[in-house]
A and B are shown apart, each in its own frame.
Chain A
Amino acid sequence: AQSVAQPEDQVNVAEGNPLTVKCTYSVSGNPYLFWYVQYPNRGLQFLLKYITGDNLVKGSYGFEAEFNKSQTSFHLKKPSALVSDSALYFCAVRDKNNNAGNMLTFGGGTRLMVKP
């Protein structure tokens, strides 16, 4: 079975400060990991993914995430937050060894609020 947890329903940060949105996962094998962002009244938009290789993954809009196998985490980070980063963020996982198809398991989402 595969699962993902986003322990924070909401994260508040001041503009210009660094931000972190947390994600932990559970798989029986090795994971594919993804981050998506959803702006109001829009569909989910892909930000970045970890497949293999370098544990630090860089994505769109200055976001990055670090894969930590020992802590089974894939936290999303950005060095300096913008008000326009305010949105709903979803982490998703897929066990590489899962032969049940291409389904991803999504977390419950974390609302990021960046205040001026």
Chain B
Amino acid sequence: DAGVIQSPRHEVTEMGQEVTLRCKPISGHNSLFWYRQTMMRGLELLIYFNNNVPIDDSGMPEDRFSAKMPNASFSTLKIQPSEPRDSAVYFCASSSGLPNEQFFGPGTRLTVL
């Protein structure tokens, strides 16, 4: 198994542009998580899906952030418009449900200029 796949690995964009991050979870996993990691705030859970349905999006910073999971093998996190303070590493993780562990992707390093 290739593990959790994220693309792109690096994204540099200018303030105001739309950014779309992509995630392919491990086949057979029914839970998908989006996290953001910064030096200042550490690891933050943004949103969590179970069976493709958003369960908890209380961590999404504001309306500029949105996430979708149209099917069991694909999810997107979109930022529109992007701002410099969105610069961070964004991780996707998947799990087959508790008590099983979450498997993390390699992350997307986003830089907004």
Contacts and interface: CB of A to CB of B under 8 A. Distances in A.
- Interface size for chain B: under 10, 10 to 19, 20 to 34, or 35 or more residues? 20 to 34
Q: What is the interface of chain B mostly: helix, strand, loop, or mixed?
A: strand
Contacts of A44: 43, 91, 93, 102, 104
A34 B101 contact: yes
Contacts of B93: 43-44
A57 B83 CA distance: 43
B102 A90 contact: no
Contacts, number: 51
A104 B93 CA distance: 11
- Interface size for chain A: under 10, 10 to 19, 20 to 34, or 35 or more residues? 20 to 34
Interface stretch (B12-20, B48-56, B68-76): B48-56
Given A43-B107, A44-B91, A109-B42, A104 B102 contact: yes
B99 A46 contact: no
Interface of B: 4, 31, 33, 42-43, 45, 48, 50, 55-56, 91, 93, 95, 97-99, 101-107
